[in-house]
């Protein structure tokens, strides 16, 4: 008996519709977040992350509608992030039915948002997402606004601070490796995993199941998030878990 | 099957409501109970928030708790809801619990990352109608920082996270799960279905 490593597919959502979703013949509507999430649930996903990339605030409400529908159908936990600006947004996301809210830019601008969310809903509901870019040997800088703005903050220091403020989990994305399909930034993942005493989700760079394995074993991450390797149907969540199990990694299969 | 979910005002009850409804339950969310209406035969104590707030909110349900104590309703406590059943908690201070089950709620050991978050497998210690059809070693979704140190022999399943962690309890008409059945896929749905079956008896 051991706590298993989690495999978390990530879905990008724009105005309540999934972009770059899974391409399967049996999906009636590839843009439907609920249908996409249920497909992953059936494949054995341990959680789902929705990243809201809706640019215009005119369509902000679409995310709450999506959360309600998802909560209605899904029977595994799901996280919603992207564009949450304040503890009011956190509250709305959680009350709509999400299990966790993920904060990124807002947490850097005002770390009190983490504390407020954790005090009202509990640390387990508050994920702090960190976009980190290599700045030198063993050093990574935190970026905000979807990776556009450097902050001068050290990623490891910021992860520790987020934990102190009450974050229940760190979602760590390597900007250098994101989209590369060359594997996760193992050094970054390991450095942050060792720096904090809360779970760390590795993100950015998964191209095959072995990459995920390395992030969990060598990177010491508690969970791995991936998007494109699942979306294009190259590997199912189950394929990844079978690979992990074969390598002696404890997974729910 | 009528089921009451006690609203302790600590978060969203949509998931547990839906999980019960999927198994055919007729769910009402109660924000208090003073004995004025018929209490459903099954009561769910939901699982989010801090112990202090939970026990304080339960003040609005004294009548319902008394009914449950007398065997008049079957109870399922989930996560915090299970912890509230115990005598005492050390979460953020020292607080008296419902004392329906003798034991204390204590912090997970420092050797592990806290919260205990994710899917862990359970070992079934004692077979019960609530684990009917659930395999030994089945996975469930846990999210908690404190756990139950029981002072009576009512654990029916356990898991491991730095220490042995009580996963499920059963004492007459009172059941509890440290994990979240409403977030545990098909295995969790089975627990909920079993709870509804037990409540019919």
pLDDT of the residue at A26: 59
The fold adopted by the segment(s) B2-199 is: Rossmann fold (3.40.50)
pTM above 0.90, yes or no: yes
| B162 touches A at CB < 8 Å | no
If contacts are CB pairs under 8 Å, which of residues 127-166 in chain A contact chain B?
A: none
If contacts are CB pairs under 8 Å, which of residues 50-89 in chain A contact chain B?
A: 68, 71-73, 75-77
**Among the partner residues B48, B141, B184, nearest to A122 by beta-carbon distance:** B48
Residue A32 annotated among the catalytic residues of the structure: no
pLDDT of the residue at A59: 76
**Domain boundaries along the sequence of chain A:** 6-246
Task: Profile chain A (253 residues) by mean pLDDT over runs of 10 residues.
Answer: 94 88 60 92 97 81 91 95 92 92 96 92 93 96 94 98 97 93 96 97 96 98 95 91 98 95
| Contact across the interface for A122 and B118, Cβ inside 8 Å | no
pLDDT of the residue at A140: 98
Nearest CA among A231, A235, A234 for reference residue A20: A231
Q: From chain B, pick out residues whose CB is under 8 angstroms from the CB of A43.
A: none
**Among the partner residues B14, B116, B118, nearest to A46 by beta-carbon distance:** B118
Q: Which residue of B lies nearest to A47 if distances are taken between CA atoms?
A: B118
pLDDT of the residue at B196: 97
- Residues B24-53: what's their mean pLDDT? 88
Buried b vs exposed e over A190-224: b needs ≥16 C-beta within 10 Å?
bbbbebbebbbbbbbbbbbbebbbbbbeebbbbbb
The CATH number that domain A6-246 falls under is 3.20.20.70
| Contact across the interface for A121 and B11, Cβ inside 8 Å | yes
- Residues B8-12: what's their mean pLDDT? 78
Q: What residues of B act catalytically?
A: 79, 180, 182
**Among the partner residues B15, B114, B142, nearest to A197 by beta-carbon distance:** B114
Number of CB pairs, chain A paired with chain B, less than 8 A apart: 99
pLDDT of the residue at A5: 98
Pull the structure tokens for residue B87. 């005598």
pLDDT of the residue at A232: 79
**Domain boundaries along the sequence of chain B:** 2-199
To which H or E segment does residue B143 belong? strand B139-144
Give, rounded to a whole angstrom, the gap between the first and last alpha carbons of chain B. 11
């Amino acid at each position: 008996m051991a706590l298993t490593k989690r495999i978390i597919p990530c879905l990008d959502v724009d105005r309540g519709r999934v972009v770059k979703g899974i391409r399967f013949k049996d999906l009636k509507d590839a843009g439907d977040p609920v249908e996409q999430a249920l497909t992953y649930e059936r494949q054995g996903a341990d959680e789902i992350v929705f990243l809201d990339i809706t640019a215009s605030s005119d369509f902000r409400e679409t995310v709450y509608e999506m959360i309600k529908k998802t909560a209605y159908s899904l029977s595994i936990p799901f996280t919603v992030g992207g564009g949450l600006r304040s503890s009011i947004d956190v509250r709305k996301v959680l009350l709509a039915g999400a299990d966790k809210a993920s904060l990124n830019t807002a947490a850097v601008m005002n770390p009190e948002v983490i504390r407020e969310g954790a005090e009202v809903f509990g640390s387990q509901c508050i994920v702090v997402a960190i976009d980190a870019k290599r700045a030198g040997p063993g050093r990574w800088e935190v970026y905000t606004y979807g990776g556009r703005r450097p902050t001068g903050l050290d990623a490891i220091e910021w992860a520790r601070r987020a934990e102190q403020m009450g974050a229940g989990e760190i979602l760590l994305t390597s900007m250098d490796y994101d989209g590369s399909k060359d594997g996760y930034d193992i050094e970054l993942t390991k450095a942050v995993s060792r720096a904090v005493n809360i779970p760390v989700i590795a993100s950015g760079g998964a191209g095959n199941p072995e990459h995920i394995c390395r992030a969990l074993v060598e990177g010491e991450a508690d969970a791995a998030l991936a998007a494109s390797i699942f979306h294009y149907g190259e590997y199912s969540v189950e394929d990844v878990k079978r690979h992990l199990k074969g390598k002696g990694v404890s997974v729910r299969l | 099957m009528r089921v009451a979910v006690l609203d302790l005002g600590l978060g969203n009850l949509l998931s547990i409501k839906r999980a019960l409804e999927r198994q055919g339950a007729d769910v009402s969310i109660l924000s208090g109970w003073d004995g004025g209406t018929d209490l459903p035969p099954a009561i769910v104590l939901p699982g989010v928030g801090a112990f202090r707030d939970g026990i304080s909110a339960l003040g609005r349900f004294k009548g319902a708790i008394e009914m449950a104590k007398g065997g008049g309703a079957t109870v399922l406590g989930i996560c915090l809801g299970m912890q509230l059943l115990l005598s005492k908690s050390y979460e953020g201070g020292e607080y008296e619990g419902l004392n329906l089950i003798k034991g204390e709620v204590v912090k997970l050991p420092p050797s592990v990352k806290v919260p205990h978050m994710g899917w862990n497998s359970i070992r079934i210690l004692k077979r019960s109608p609530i684990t009917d059809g659930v395999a030994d070693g089945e996975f469930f979704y846990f999210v908690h920082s404190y756990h139950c140190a029981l002072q009576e022999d009512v654990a029916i399943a356990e898991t491991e996270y730095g220490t042995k962690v009580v996963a499920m309890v059963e004492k007459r008409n009172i059941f509890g799960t440290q994990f979240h059945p409403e977030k545990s896929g098909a295995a969790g749905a089975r627990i909920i279905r079993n709870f509804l079956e037990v409540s019919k008896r």
